[in-house]
Amino acid sequence: MKTGKLFAFASLSVLLLTASLAQAAHVYEDPSGWWDSHFTYDQSADRYTAQELSLDLFGSYLNPEGKFNDLFNTSLNHGFWGGGAGLNYFITRELGVGTDFNMSSKPNDVNLVDYVVGNLYGRLPLGNSGLAPYIFGGGGRAMSPTYQWTYGGGVGLEYRLNPVTGLFSDARFLWGDKGTIYNELVIRAGVRLVF
């Protein structure tokens, strides 16, 4: 992926997320109403909407993989636990952009952050059941174990308890531009808070 295209994608993501802050103004006008809505379980409310800004907080597991073809031939005992956060904005109910970063327990690593990536999301809410499988892909900058460009994609599943609280889990494969020894499988699970 060329640096110019990645910069354009990252700039567009930041612009859309910044513009969406105006949509989230109601959180600041009535913070107790937003907080109380996390504990509301109205079964008829739409769980997924357009113009949706959300915060991801997650735990993660990173496993060095080499080649994608070796994904199921390697041991998961050699990975690293970690966590991170992300910010997403869904332009329509099905299409969104986002960014996230991850930190892990890699030994002897001087870099606190493993990677920062931008993603394009496509999700398919299954009626109003709360379930929504999704696919995503994008790229960004890896800082650990070496500075390099990284890109990848994956699949996930989200379950919304209500319109503002969701649980998600996904897996992605990240390719490093400096060789296959820097490729990683990233598995994430966490909570998604909608504003």
pLDDT band of residue 1 (cuts 50, 70, 90) is very low
Domain count, the chain: 1
- Contacts of residue 176, defined as CB under 8 A and 6 or more positions apart, other chains included, come to 142, 146, 148, 149, 150, 182, 183, 184
- Nearest CA to 86 among 120, 112, 130, 116? 116
Q: Which domain holds residue 66?
A: 3-194
- The CATH number of residue 30's host domain is 2.40.160.20
Count of other CB atoms within 10 angstroms of residue 158: 21
Q: Tokens representing 7?
A: 């910069």
List pLDDT tens digits, range 37-75: 556 656 678 899 999 999 999 999 998 877 666 666 666
Identify the residue with better confidence: 66 or 102.
Answer: 102
Beta-sheet pairing, 115-123 with 95-104 = antiparallel
Identify the residue with better confidence: 11 or 127.
Answer: 127
pLDDT band of residue 25 (cuts 50, 70, 90) is very low
Confidence (pLDDT) at 72:
60
Confidence (pLDDT) at 144:
84
- Nearest CA to 160 among 187, 135, 123, 185? 123
- d(CA 58, CA 64) in angstroms, rounded, equals 19
How confident is the model over 93-114, as a mean pLDDT? 89
CB 98 within 8 A of CB 87: yes
Q: Tokens representing 174?
A: 């990240």
